[in-house]
């Protein structure tokens, strides 16, 4: 926890200099919308108005969930291992999305229910999946802390390798059930309002999922004011590792992009553990899952993509990167008022 307590606020002076740079560009003030603010946030993280995000990656945390025994998913938990191997081999959805944007993809096994024979997987297994949260805590405190440490250590390793931006993604059959439970606790909203169909469920399947969330919350009574208690009782190994990834990114001075609802649940837990960590986060899209917007609102993050996406694997997070690249290009290369005969616009709001 020492690293978490030592997370610092980002550099406000660098953020203001970046804003002044934007205001000098020959265009209406604020006309590039929230992307301008994102560039300023990056400047604050990097302690300089001269920003760089050329080294970027997606980190896909993988783990299984015992709650799948309750019939809350369309497929079996063995799909987690199969998809993780595909990601590590470079042939999964996130790889296809990341390739055009020069984004590396790393696959971390923090809690897959089986051993995956694939050389591309980074093995940091804490346990072989979680327990069924409808019958008791999903993880022990020790397992939760270990998974959190995995995420922080991975962030440190990536920082040492020169990465400036990471996308926090996941792969874990059943993890939208966990995310829904986390959201219900954090947002104080009934399970029915935060639980969606995930990868695809019939109406009967959705009802089983809602009932599983309700049962897990009744059985475990997670403490709304204690994110570690919430993670232990209704979280997942990959969710805890993603929480650590967000905290690690903040500790090591990196940008962390929030993907979909599972990523947002982890980001919310990181924010509650250390509010300053939110200053290092960038939201990508508003998930099609019902809990997505509420979790981002809790953190104070306003996404720039609203396309109803819910694919996971970090795919939505990766799609923020070309938007950021476009904003960086405008920021660095556009003509300034001083280069033209146009009078500089004034900022009134």
Residue 8 and residue 279 in contact, taking contact as beta carbons nearer than 8 Å: no
DSSP bridge pairs for 166: 57, 256
pLDDT of residue 6: 97
Same domain, residue pair 13 and 73: no
> Is 313 one of the catalytic residues?
yes
Indicate whether 289 belongs to any domain. yes
Confidence of residue 348 (pLDDT cuts 50, 70, 90): low
Phi, psi of 103 (to 5 degrees): -115, 120
Indicate whether 97 belongs to any domain. yes
- Which one from 2, 161, 313, 343 is the annotated catalytic residue? 313
d(CA 1, CA 273): 10
d(CA 257, CA 260): 10
Indicate whether 347 belongs to any domain. no
d(CA 242, CA 245): 5
Rounded mean pLDDT of 77-92? 97
Per residue in 216-248, pLDDT (tens digit) is 999 999 999 999 999 999 999 999 999 999 999
Same domain, residue pair 169 and 92: yes
pLDDT of residue 349: 63
Nearest residue to 169 (alpha-carbon basis) of 254, 266, 56, 60: 60
Nearest residue to 144 (alpha-carbon basis) of 262, 229, 247, 61: 229
Rounded mean pLDDT of 19-34? 95
Indicate whether 33 belongs to any domain. yes
Chain position carrying tokens 């804490």: 126
pLDDT of residue 205: 86
pLDDT of residue 76: 87
Indicate whether 348 belongs to any domain. no
Rounded mean pLDDT of 272-277? 98
Same domain, residue pair 66 and 34: no
Per residue in 155-167, pLDDT (tens digit) is 999 999 999 999 9
Collapse the DSSP code of 297 into the 3-class scheme (helix H, G, I; strand E, B; otherwise coil) and give the result.
Answer: helix
Indicate whether 145 belongs to any domain. yes
Indicate whether 349 belongs to any domain. no
Decide if pLDDT at 298 tops 80: yes
By residue range, what is the domain housing residue 32? 2-51+329-339
Alpha-helical runs (H) found in the chain: 2-5, 12-24, 34-46, 78-89, 93-98, 141-160, 175-187, 191-194, 203-220, 227-234, 237-252, 261-273, 292-299, 315-318, 320-333
Collapse the DSSP code of 24 into the 3-class scheme (helix H, G, I; strand E, B; otherwise coil) and give the result.
Answer: helix
Same domain, residue pair 246 and 334: no
Q: What is the pTM of this model?
A: 0.97
Residue 144 is part of a domain; what is its CATH number? 3.40.50.10210
Same domain, residue pair 127 and 25: no
Same domain, residue pair 165 and 307: yes
pLDDT of residue 74: 87
Same domain, residue pair 166 and 297: yes
Residue 23 is part of a domain; what is its CATH number? 1.10.1610.10
Decide if pLDDT at 344 tops 90: no
> Is 202 or 185 the better-scoring residue by pLDDT?
185
> How many domains, in total, are found in the chain?
2
Same domain, residue pair 160 and 276: yes
Indicate whether 344 belongs to any domain. no
Q: What is the rounded radius of gyration, in angstroms, for the C-alpha atoms of the chain?
A: 20
Same domain, residue pair 160 and 130: yes
Same domain, residue pair 21 and 109: no
Same domain, residue pair 103 and 233: yes
Same domain, residue pair 203 and 68: yes
């Amino acid at each position: 926890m020492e690293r978490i307590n030592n997370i610092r606020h980002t550099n406000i002076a660098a953020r203001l200099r970046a804003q002044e740079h934007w205001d000098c560009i020959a265009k209406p003030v604020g006309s590039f919308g929230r992307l301008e603010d994102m560039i300023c946030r990056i400047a604050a993280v990097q302690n300089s108005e001269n920003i760089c995000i050329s080294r970027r990656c997606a980190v896909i945390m993988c783990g299984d969930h015992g709650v799948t025994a309750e019939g809350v998913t369309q497929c079996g938990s063995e799909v987690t291992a199969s998809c993780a191997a595909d990601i590590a081999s470079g042939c999964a959805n996130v790889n296809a999305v990341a390739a055009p944007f020069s984004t590396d993809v790393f696959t971390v096994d923090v809690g897959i229910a089986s051993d995956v024979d694939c050389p591309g997987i980074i093995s940091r297994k804490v346990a072989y999946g979680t327990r069924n949260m409808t019958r008791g805590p999903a993880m022990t405190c020790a397992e939760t802390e270990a998974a959190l440490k995995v995420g922080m250590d991975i962030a440190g390793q990536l920082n040492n390798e020169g990465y400036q931006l990471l996308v926090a993604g996941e792969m874990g059959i059943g993890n939208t059930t966990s995310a829904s439970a986390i959201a219900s606790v954090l947002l104080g909203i009934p399970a029915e309002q935060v639980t969606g169909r995930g990868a695809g469920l019939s109406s009967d399947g959705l009802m089983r999922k809602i009932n599983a969330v309700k049962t897990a919350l009744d059985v475990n009574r997670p403490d709304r004011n204690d994110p570690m208690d919430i993670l232990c009782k209704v979280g997942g190994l990959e969710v805890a590792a993603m929480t650590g990834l967000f905290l690690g990114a903040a500790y090591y001075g990196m940008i962390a992009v929030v993907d979909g609802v599972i990523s947002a649940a982890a980001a919310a837990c990181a924010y509650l553990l250390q509010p300053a960590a939110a200053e290092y986060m960038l939201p990508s899209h508003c998930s099609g899952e019902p809990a997505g917007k509420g979790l981002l609102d809790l953190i104070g993050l306003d996404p720039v993509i609203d396309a109803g996406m819910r694919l996971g694997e970090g795919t939505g997070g990766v799609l923020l990167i070309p938007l950021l690249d476009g904003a960086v290009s405008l920021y660095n290369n556009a003509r300034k008022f001083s280069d033209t005969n146009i009078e500089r616009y004034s900022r009134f709001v």
